Amino acid sequence: MNNKSNNGFNTWQKSFEKETKKNFSDANSETDEGIEIKPVYTRDDLENFSFVENNSLPGQWPFTRGPKASMYTNRPWTIRQYAGFSTAEESNEFYKKNLESGQKGLSVAFDLPTHRGYDSDDDLVMGDVGKAGVAIDTVEDMKILFNNIPLDQMSVSMTMNGAVLPVLASFIVAGEEQGVDRSLLSGTIQNDILKEFMVRNTYIYPPEPSMKIVADIIEFTSKEMPKFNSISISGYHMQEAGADNVLELAYTLADGMEYVRAALSKDLDVDDFAPRLSFFFAIGTDFFMEIAKLRAARTLWAKIMKDFGAKNERSLILRTHCQTSGVSLTEKDPYNNIIRTSYEALSAILGGTQSLHTNSFDEAIALPTDESARIARNTQLILQNETGVTKTVDPLAGSYFVENLTEELSKKAWDIITEIEELGGMTKAVKAGIPKLKIEESATKKQAKVDSGSRVVVGVNKYKNPKEPSVDVRVIDNNRVRDDQIKKIQAIKESRDTIAVEKALANLTDAAKDETNLLAPCIEAIKLRATVGEVSKALEQVYGRHFAKSLSVSGVYGKHFEGDKDFMKVEKKVIDFENANGRRPRVLVVKIGQDGHDRGAKIVATSFADMGFDVDMGPLFQSPKDVAKDAIENDVHAIGVSTLAAGHKTLVPELMKALSNIDPKSKIIVFVGGIIPEQDYEFLYKNNVSAIFGPGSNIIECAEKVIDLISDNLSKE
Amino acid sequence: MELIENIQNGERAAIAKAITLVESSKDSDQQISRQLISELIKKPGKSIRIGFSGPPGVGKSTFIESFGSYLVTQNYKLGILAIDPSSQITGGSILGDKTRMVEISKNPNTFIRSTPSRGALGGISMGTREASIILDAAGYDFIFIETVGVGQSEIVASNLVDIFTLIVGPGSGDELQGIKKGITEYADIFIVNKNDGELKIEASKTAADYKSALSYYKKLDELEKQVLLVSAIEQTGMEEVIKTINQIVDQNKLKGIFEERRANQLEYWIEEEVKNIIASDITKRLSSTGNISKYSEKVMKNEMSMFEAVEKITKDTLK
Ligand code: B12
Ligand SMILES: Nc1nc2c(ncn2[C@@H]2O[C@H](COP(=O)(O)OP(=O)(O)O)[C@@H](O)[C@H]2O)c(=O)[nH]1
Ligand SMILES: [Mg+2]
C-alpha cells in the first residue's frame, strides 16, 4: 500500500505547507552524517530495506532489537561508572563508596603515565602522575586498588591499550594473590589499539607489534579466562574526537573485523573468541540517531560475523557498553549538563545498551567530585527505578522514523566499511592516517557550526547565564601522589629479587623477538614485582616507540565562514600585521606531557591558519624544553599551549623556565587553552600567561585576541 | 653588530632572529639583513649544504629525521631549513614538519626552522640562501634544505646547495619521461625512499629504472650519478647516503668542482638580485606612468599595433 499517493497524505502535506509556509520539498534537514531527515515518516518508509528486517524479534537474527530476548525486563543494564584518580588507595575508597550507593560494576581509569608505559618516577611524566586517572606502577598498587573488592564477584572493566600487557598481567596476579583463579575473573580489557592511533593517543609501539599484542591477549583470554571480555572495540573515542555517527559506526566495525582477522591468524576458531568480543559506543545529543546507531551496529555485526563463518549464535551478537558524550558537556552554565546527560542516557537505554556510564556535570572542568558523581549515578538509578523504561524491550521498534534511520545508518556505514576493506583493512587505513584526518575534518566542521551560531549550544553561544555558578572541583596534588608512588617503587625495588626480575625481563625481550604469546612471560615478570615501566621498556627494546606522523586538514573551517564579517575582520588584521611587521603572526600550538587530547589543538591550528596565521604544529608528548627550543628556533610570536589533562600547573611554569633558559630576553608570549578550572587562572596569570581560553571558546574571538596581544607585545619593544 | 657575535657564538635566539630578518618583507628589516649578510659572508664557515627535493609526501621530512638522527649520533651539528609547501595562497599555513622530526628536534645539536613557501618560485622562500649563510656562520656542519620539487624549482633549489638530492618514491619510474636531461645536471644523488614492507620490490624496480635512464644521459667526464635505496621509516640505507655524500664532496673538492659551483652560485645570486631590483624598479615606473593601460587602449582602438605599443612603452620606461 502506498501512503504517499493516498488522499490522507496529500491533505497532510497541504496542511504542513500552510503551517510552515514552506514547500514540502524544502522541508528536510540534514544531519552531520549527511542523512536527510524528513518532517514526517510513514509506513512507506519501512520498505526496500536491505539491512533491517521488519519482523525480527529481540535476541534473534539480525539482533537489531537487542542481544537478548528479555533485555531489561529481566535485568536492567549495568551501571558502570568510569573512574580513577590519584593513588590506588584513594581510588579504592572511591570505588567502595560508589558500590555501596548502587553502582554495579567497576571501570578503572588509569593515569596517563601508566597508559603510556612509564613509571611514576620517570622524568618524562613529571606533570601527569595521578592527574587524569589512577597511577599503577606495580602489582602492589593493583592489589590496593581492589582491596576488599572480591574479584570473583565484581566485574571489572579496564581502559588500557598501550600498556595492556603489564596491566592485564597485574590484574591477573592481583586476583591470584587475592585467592581468585584467573578463570573466575570477569570483566573487560579495552585492548583496542587501532583507535589509539586514530584518536586516543595512548599507543606505545608501532601498529604491527601492537596488533600482535592484541591478538596475544585474545588468544590467552579465550583459553584461560572464559568470563573475561578480551577486547572492547571502541567507537566512543572517535565520536568524542569529532566523528559523526556514521564514521564512528563504520570505523568501529571495521576495526572489529581487523581484530577478528588478527585472532584468526592465531589458529583460533572464530567461535572460540567471538562471543568474548565486546563494543563501546558514545551517545551524543542527537537523540534518535544514537538509538538507531546501536540498532544498526548490532544488525551489521551479525552480518559481518556470519560472513566470517561464525556458527555459534553468540558470536553474531554485538554486546556493548555506552558512555554519554563528554564533549557535548560545557564549562559554561554547567548544571545544563545534568539535563543533557539524562537525555543521552535515555537514548542509550532505548538503543539497548548492556551497560552505561553517565558523565558528571563538572565534566568540562575537572574529574568528578563525590557529589557530582552521585548525581551522575542517580541519573541511571532514576531511569531504572522510576521511569518504567525497563518494562518493554526495544520500545521504538516499528517506529517509521527510527527503523528508517537504522537502515540509513547501516547503509552509509556499510559503504565506508566496504571502502576500507577494499583498501586492505583498517590497519592499513590507520597507518596512512586517513580515518584520523576524516574525523578531524568532521570535528572542525562541528566547531565551525558552533562558532558561527548555526548550531545552538545552550549557555555557550545562546541563552548565556549572566551569573555563572561557581562549582567545587576535585583537586589532585600530583606532586604528593608522585612522591608517594616513588616511595612505593623504591621500597619494592629494594625488597624484590633483582636478579630474578632482570632475568624475567630478559626473557620477555627474547619472547618479543619471535611469535611467542607475551602474556605468560609478562605475568612472570609482574609476579616478581617488575614495574609497568620496566615491562614496557623490555618490549620497547624490540619494538621501538611509535611516533605519530600527524597530518592536518586545511580550509574546512574557513569555508564555513565565507563572507562572514568577524572572520574577515581577523583576516584583515592579519594582513595589516604582515604589512607592519614584515611577516604574518606566527603561533606555535603545542601539547606538553602525556596529554593526548589533540582535538582542540588541531582545530585551533587549522582554523588559525585559515584566518591567515602561520601556525607551527608541535608533535604530541613534547617536554617543556622541546617546546621552548622549537618556539625559539622558529622565532614565533606566541606559544599556545593546549592542555586538558590537568598538567598545566606543573608544565606551564616549566615552559616559562625553559624559554628563559634558552633566551633570557625572550619576548615570546604564552597563552593557554583547554580544561583550566577557574581556581587556577590566577596561578597561571602570575606565571606570565597572557590569556586563557577555556572550553567553548569561539575560535575567531580567540584569534582576534591573540593577534591583539601579539601586537601589543611588539609595540612594547 | 652584537647580533653577529651572538650568531657566531651559536646562540639559538640570535640565529632565529637573524633568519626572521632575512625573511622579512619589511624594507627596514631588509636593510639590516643586507648588512648582516655582508658581514657574515666575509668569514665563511665550514658547512656543507645539501638540498633534499621531491614531491610532497615522498618522505623528505621523515628522511631528514632518520638521516639526521644518524648524523647527530656522530656528533655533527645539523641545521635544517624546511620550506613547507602547505601554505595556502590566500590563507596562512600549518607548518607540520616538526611532527615528522620528533627525535632530531629534541637534540641540542640541531637547529630546525620551518618557513612557509607562500607559493614562491621553486618552493624556495625569500631568504633561504641568506638563512643558510647564517647557519654556516653559526657553525653548523651540515645544512639541509628541504624543498618541494616541482618543475622549475629544482634549478632554483640546486643553486643554493653544494649537493642536490632528489628524493622519489617507489613507482615514480613512470615519471621518468619527465626527467629531461636538465635534472641530471642538477641532481647529484637520487634517493628512492620507502624501500620497506610491501613497497620493497617496487622501490628496487624504480631504482633500476633511474639507473638506466641516468646512464643514458651521463656525460663523459662526469661522476656517475648515484641512485640509492633507503627506508626513512626503518632507517635503512643511511650509511650509504653519508658515504656517497662524502665521496661526492671529496671528489668535487679535488676536481675544483666544489669551488666552481659556489662561484657560479654567487654569480647566479648577483644576477638574481640585480634582476629583482631592476624588475621592481620597472614595475614601479610602469605603474606611475600608467603607460600600459594608456597604450592598450590605443591598441584596442586599432590606433597602433600591439608590437608598436610594446616598443613605445619599453623605450619610454628605459629612458
Ligand atoms: C574529547 C575528550 C576525550 C577524547 C579525546 C580525543 C582527542 N583526540 O582529542 C578521548 C575520548 C580519547 C578522551 C580520553 C581521555 N580523557 Co578526555 N575528554 C574529552 C572531553 C570530553 C572534550 C575535550 C574536547 O576535545 N573538546 C572539544 C575541543 C574543541 O575543545 P577544547 O580542547 O577545550 O578546546 C577549546 C578551548 O579549550 C580552546 N583551546 C584549547 N586549546 C587551545 C589552544 C589555543 C592555542 C587556543 C587559542 C585555544 C585553545 O579553544 C577550543 C575551541 O573552543 C573533555 C571534557 C570536556 N567536555 O571538555 C574530557 C577530559 C579532558 N578528559 C579527561 C580524561 C581524564 C581523559 C583520559 C585521561 C581518561 C583516562 N584516564 O583514560 C583519556 C586519555 C586521553 C589522552 N590520551 O590524553 C578529563 C581530564 C581531567 C582533568 N583535566 O582534570 C576531562 C576534563 C573529562 C573529565 N572531567 O574527567 N577524552
Ligand atoms: N613506508 C614508508 N613510508 C614513509 C617513509 N618515509 C615517509 N613515509 C611516509 O610518507 C608520508 C609523508 O612523509 P613526509 O616526510 O611528511 O613527506 P614530505 O612531504 O616529503 O616531507 C608519511 O605518512 C610518512 O610516514 C618510508 O621510508 N617508508
Ligand atoms: Mg615535509
C-alpha cell at B18: 637573524
Q: What is the DSSP string of A360-393?
A: -TTTTTSSPPHHHHHHHHHHHHHHHHHS-TTSSS
Q: What is the pLDDT of residue A356?
A: 98
Nearest to A617 among B88, B99, B103 (CB): B99
Q: pLDDT at residue B122 above 50?
A: no
Work out the mean pLDDT of chain A and round it to a whole number: 96
Q: Whose CA is nearest to atom 29 of ligand 1?
A: A600
Q: Are B170 and B206 spatial neighbours (Cβ–Cβ below 8 Å)?
A: yes
Q: Is A648 considered catalytic here?
A: no
Query: A556 C-alpha to center of ligand 1: Å?
Result: 21
Which of B27, B87, B98 should one mutate to test binding to chain A, selecting the residue with the greatest count of A CBs within 10 A?
B98
Give the alpha-carbon dihedral of A267, A269, A273, A275, to 10 degrees: 170
pLDDT tens track for A83-128: 999 999 999 999 999 999 988 889 999 999 999 999 999 999 989 9
What the block records as the C-alpha cell of A653 is 611554569
State which residue of chain A sits closest to B102, comparing Cα positions: A619
Nearest to B40 by CA among B6, B89, B77: B6
Query: For chain A, what percent of residues have pLDDT higher than 70?
Result: 99
What is the least distance, in Å, from the CA of B63 to any CA of chain A?
13
In this structure, are strands B93-95 and A669-674 parallel, antiparallel, or unpaired? unpaired
Q: Find, in chain A, the residue whose alpha carbon is nearest to that of B111.
A: A633
- Nearest-CA distance B103 → chain A (Å): 9
Among candidate residues A354, A433, A436, A317, the one with its CA nearest the CA of residue A75: A354
Closest residue to atom 66 of ligand 1, CA basis = A132
For ligand 1, the distance from its centroid to the CA atom of residue A438, given in whole angstroms, is 19
pLDDT of residue B173: 67
Q: pLDDT tens, B246-305? A: 999 999 999 999 999 999 999 988 988 888 888 888 988 898 888 899 999 999 999 999
**pLDDT score for A103:** 87
**Secondary structure (H, E, C), A188-237:** EECCCCHHHHHHHCCCCCCHHHHHHHHHHHHHHHHHHCCCEECEEEECHH
Nearest CA in chain A to B113: A634
Of A350-354, B24-28, B130-134, B155-159, the least confident = B155-159
For A309, left (φ over 0), alpha (ψ -120 to 50), or beta?
A: left
Q: Assess whether A236 carries a catalytic annotation.
A: yes
Placement of cell 556499510 in the chain: A414
- Catalytic member of A203, A205, A236, A557: A236
Residues of B with a Cβ under 8 Å from any A Cβ are: 11-13, 15-17, 19-20, 23-26, 29, 62, 86, 88, 90-96, 98-100, 102-103, 105-106, 108, 111-114, 116
Question: Are B112 and A630 in contact (CB < 8 Å)?
Answer: yes
Q: What is the pLDDT of residue A4?
A: 58
Give yes or no for residue B180 having a pLDDT over 80. no
State how far the Cα of A71 lies from the Cα of A76, in Å rounded to an integer: 7
Q: Is A203 a catalytic residue?
A: no
Pairing of strands B142-148, B48-54: parallel
Ligand nearest to C-alpha A547: 2
pLDDT score, position B178? 55
**Which ranges in A561-647 belong to alpha helices (H)?**
565-581, 599-610, 624-633
Q: Which chain B residues are closer than 8 Å to A631 by Cβ?
A: none
DSSP characters for A418-473? HHHHHHT-HHHHHHHTHHHHHHHHHHHHHHHHHHHTSS--BTTTBS--SSPPP---
Answer whether B61 contacts ligand 2 (Cβ < 6 A).
Answer: yes
Can you read off the three cell numbers belonging to residue A138? 606495580
Regarding the beta carbon of B231 and ligand 2, being less than 6 Å apart is answered yes
* Cβ within 8 Å, pair A619-B91: no
Nearest to B20 among A549, A583, A608 (CB): A583
Q: Is the pLDDT of residue B216 over 80?
A: no
- Minimal C-alpha gap between B317 and chain A (Å): 28
Mutate to test the interface with B, among A550, A572, A616, A699 (most CBs of B within 10 A): A616
Burial of A123 (0-12, 13-18, 19+ CB in 10 A): exposed
pTM above 0.90, yes or no: yes
User: Of A412, A597, A602, A637, which residue is the catalytic one?
Assistant: A597
* A636 Cα–ligand 2 center, Å: 26
**CA B229 to ligand 2 center in whole angstroms:** 14
- Write out residues with Cβ below 6 Å of ligand 1: A 109-110, 112, 132-133, 159, 199-202, 237, 240-241, 326-327, 329, 363-364, 366-367, 447, 589, 595-601, 603-604, 640, 642, 644-646, 673-675, 693-697, 699, 702
| Contact by Cβ (8 Å): A345, A364 | no
- Report which residue type is found at A253: L
pLDDT of residue A1: 45
B114 membership: H or E segment, kind and range: strand B110-116
Ligand 2 lined by B83 (C-beta under 6 Å):
no
The pLDDT assigned to B280 comes to 81
Residue A108: beta bridge partners?
A83, A158
Residues of B in contact with A584 (CB under 8 A): 92
Q: Are A308 and A277 in contact (CB under 8 A)?
A: no
Nearest-CA residue of chain B relative to A591? B99
Question: How many A-B residue pairs are in contact by the CB < 8 A criterion?
Answer: 107
Residue of the CA atom closest to atom 60 of ligand 1: A644
The grid cell for A696 is 567553548
Cis before A62? omega within 30 = yes
Where residue A6 falls among pLDDT bands split at 50, 70, 90? Answer: confident
Task: Return the sign of the alpha-carbon dihedral for residues A100, A104, A105, A107.
Answer: negative
Atom from ligand 1 closest to the CA of residue A110: 71
Chain B residue numbers touching A549 (CB-CB < 8 A): 62, 99-100
State the ipTM, two decimals.
0.93
Cα–Cα distance for residue pair A567/A546, rounded to 1 Å: 38
* Best residue among B52, B62, B144 to mutate for probing ligand 2, ranked by most atoms within 8 Å of CB: B62
Q: What is the mean pLDDT of residues A307-321?
A: 98
CB of B232 shorter than 6 A to ligand 2:
yes
Distance A328 CA to ligand 1 centre (A): 11
Based on the residue annotation, tell me whether A237 is a catalytic residue of this protein.
yes
Cα separations in angstroms, A160 against A113, A200, A326, A434, B164 = 12, 11, 19, 24, 47
Nearest CA in chain A to B21: A582
Given a cut of 60, whether residue A492 has pLDDT beyond it is yes
The percentage of chain B sitting over the pLDDT mark of 70, rounded to a whole number, equals 87
Q: Name the pLDDT band for A308 (thresholds 50, 70, 90).
A: very high
Q: Is the pLDDT of residue A211 over 90?
A: yes
CA geometry: angle A164, A167, A169, nearest 5 deg? 100
Taking residues A521-548, what's their average pLDDT?
97
Please write down the long-range contacts of A266-272, taking CB distance under 8 Å and 24 or more positions apart.
A266/A215, A266/A216, A266/A218, A266/A219, A268/A218, A268/A219, A268/A222, A270/A305, A270/A308, A270/A309, A270/A310, A270/A315, A271/A310, A271/A311, A271/A312, A271/A315, A272/A222
Q: Do A554 and B16 touch (CB under 8 A)?
A: no
CB nearest A630 (choices: B19, B29, B105): B105
Q: Where are the alpha helices (DSSP H) in B142-300?
A: 153-158, 181-186, 200-217, 238-254, 257-289, 291-300
pLDDT digits (tens, 9 = 90+) for A35-87: 999 999 999 999 999 999 999 999 999 999 999 999 999 999 999 999 999 99
**B184 band by pLDDT with thresholds 50, 70 and 90:** low
For the CA of A363, the nearest atom of ligand 1: 89
B22 alpha carbon – ligand 2 mean position (Å): 30
Q: If you measure from the C-alpha of residue B6 to the centroid of ligand 3, how many angstroms do you get, rounded to a whole number?
A: 29
Q: What distance in Å separates residue B300's CA from the closest CA in chain A?
A: 36
